[in-house]
Amino acid sequence: MSGENLENRKIIHIDMDCFYAAVEELDFPELKGKPVAIGGGRRGVLSTANYKAREFGVRSAMPTKTAQRLCPHLILRNSRFDRYRELSHEIRQVFLRHTDLIEPLSLDEAYLDVSKNKDFGGSATWLAKRIKKEIFEKTGLIASAGVAPNKFLAKIASDWQKPDGLFTIAPDQVAGFVKDLDVAKINGVGKVGLEHLRRWNIQTCGDLQKWTKEDLFKEFGNWGASLFNYSRGIDHRRVSSKSDRKSLSVENTFFEDLDLQDLKLKLPEIYQELRQRLDNISEEKRKPIKTIYLKLKTFDFEITTVDQAYSYLANMDEFQKLLLKAYDRKAKPARLLGLGVRFEDSDSLRTLQVELKI
C-alpha cells in the first residue's frame, strides 16, 4: 500500500481480564469474591484464575494440585468454549462499530487500528475508554486496553495497569517509556532468550540500545534485528484483518429469551447498527451485496437462518418479514437475533469484471 504512514498510527490492544474465569463469575454470580480457577485442561493444568485466586499465587498453566495447595478453598470449574466463543463474538461486534481493521489474537485479545477513526477529536485514548465501556455494557465483562503507535507497545500497554486498565503511550512518550522497559516484556522473549540477554547484563531496552545492529546480529542472529527495533519502540507490523469478508452481520444475545413481539421491538436497533457498519466499510474493501439474512438462536440453542436475494441493504420491513418466517419455523423464544448481508464472493466478482471488460 503506497502512502501509508506506519509511524503515525493509532493502535489499540484489547485484552479481557481473566477471561474464562470472568465468564464463570458472570454466569454464576454466586462465585463473585471467591477464588475461582478454570481447569479441565488436558495436562491437569489451569487455563486461568480470577484475581482473588491470584492473590494466593494461583496462575495460568499451573498444575491443579499446586494451585489447590496454595489456595485450599479454590473453586475449580471446567472450560465452556461455546460460551467463550459467543462472548468473544459479542466483543468483536463492539470493535466493528469503531473500525474494520481488527486482528484477533485469541478469543479474548485483539489489535485494532483506529488511525482513521475521527471520534473524540481523533483521541484513541478516549475511544479505547468508550470501547471498554461498550464491552462492559454489552457483555458485563471487563477489558484492559493499551493505546500506542504500534502493536508492540500497545500490547505492553494493555498489560500495564491490569485489571480494568487503560494505558496510553503517546508518540512523544515512546523514547522515555522504552528506556527503562524490562527486556522480559519484549514480544517473543522466552526463558532461553531472557537468559541469553541477562548473560550480557542486558536488563532494559535502554541497555539494548547501546548495542549496534551488527553486534546484535552477531550475538542473537536474526532476532537481533527485531531487538534493535523493539528496544527503540519501533514496530512496523500491520494490523492485518481478513479482507475477503464473505458476510457482515450484527448479532445480539439477550439477557432473557424473547418472544416474537419482543424480537420485533429489538429489530430496529440491530438494523441501524448493521446499516452503520456497512457505511463504515472503507471504499477499497466494499463488495456488492448478494443476499440479506436473519438468524435466530432459540433458547435451547437451535439455529435457523433465512436468506433473501437482494443487491443492497433492504429496508426494515423486509427484515420484519424474514423475522416472521424464521420465528414460524421453530415457534420458540429466542436468545439471539442477528441481521446480516452476504457479499458476492471474490471469484464471481472477478468473472463479473472480466465480462465487463469485454
**CB 134, CB 124: distance < 8 Å:** no
Q: Residue from 12, 13, 15, 337 that binds ligand TTP (CB under 6 A)? A: 15
Give the Cα separation of 300 and 323 in Å (integer).
18
**Beta carbon of residue 16, minimum distance to Mg ion (angstroms, whole number):** 5
Would you count residue 24 as binding ligand TTP (CB under 6 A)? no
- Which partner, Mg ion, ligand TTP, none, binds residue 103 by CB below 5 to 8 Å per kind? none
Beta carbon nearer to ligand TTP, 161 or 351: 161
109 is catalytic: yes
Using the rule CB under 6 A, give the single segment among 11-19, 69-77, 128-136, 273-281 that binds ligand TTP.
Answer: 11-19
Of the candidates 9, 15, 135, 205, which one interacts with Mg ion according to CB under 5 A? 15
- Burial status of residue 43 (CB atoms within 10 A of its CB: 0-12, 13-18, 19 or more): exposed
16 contacts Mg ion (rule: CB under 5 A): yes
User: 340 forms bridges with which residues in the sheet?
Assistant: 249, 293
Among 108, 113, 235, 251, binds Mg ion (CB under 5 A): 108
Question: 24 contacts which partner out of Mg ion, ligand TTP, none, CB within 5 to 8 A by kind?
Answer: none
**Identity of the residue, 20 or 230, whose beta carbon is nearer to ligand TTP in the bound complex:** 20
Closest alpha carbon to 205 in 172, 156, 170, 163: 156
With binding defined as CB under 5 A, does residue 289 bind Mg ion? Answer: no
φ, ψ of residue 339 to 5 degrees: the values are -120, 145
- Letters for 57-96 (x = contact with ligand TTP by CB under 6 A, - = none) are ---xx-----------------------------------
CB of 145 to Mg ion, least distance (A): 12
Alpha helices in the chain (DSSP H): 19-27, 51-54, 64-70, 81-96, 124-139, 151-160, 174-179, 191-199, 205-209, 213-220, 223-230, 260-280, 316-330, 346-357
Cβ atoms of 148 and 9 closer than 8 Å: no
Cβ closer to ligand TTP: 165 or 224?
165
Contact between 127 and 94 (Cβ < 8 Å): no
Region of 12-20, 194-202, 307-315, 336-344 interacting with ligand TTP (CB under 6 A): 12-20
Q: Which of 288, 287, 286, 281 is nearest to 116 (CA)?
A: 281
Compute the chain's Rg from CA coordinates: 24
* 48, interface contact from Mg ion, ligand TTP, none, CB < 5-8 Å by kind: ligand TTP
Work out which of 11, 14, 18, 270 binds ligand TTP, going by CB under 6 A.
18
Catalytic member of 109, 195, 269, 344:
109
Distance separating alpha carbons of residues 253 and 296, to the nearest angstrom: 10
Q: Which of residues 150-189 bind ligand TTP (CB under 6 A)?
A: 162-163
Instruction: Give the three cell numbers for residue 189.
Output: 522473549
Task: Report which of 141, 138, 137, 98 is spatially closest to residue 11, judged by C-alpha positions.
Answer: 98
Residues 99-138, one symbol each (x = binds ligand TTP by CB under 6 A, - = not), give ---------xx-----------------------------
Extract the C-alpha cell encoding 316: 426494515
Catalytic residues: 109
Residues that bind ligand TTP (CB under 6 A): 15-20, 47-48, 60-61, 108-109, 162-163
Residues that bind Mg ion (CB under 5 A): 15-16, 19, 108
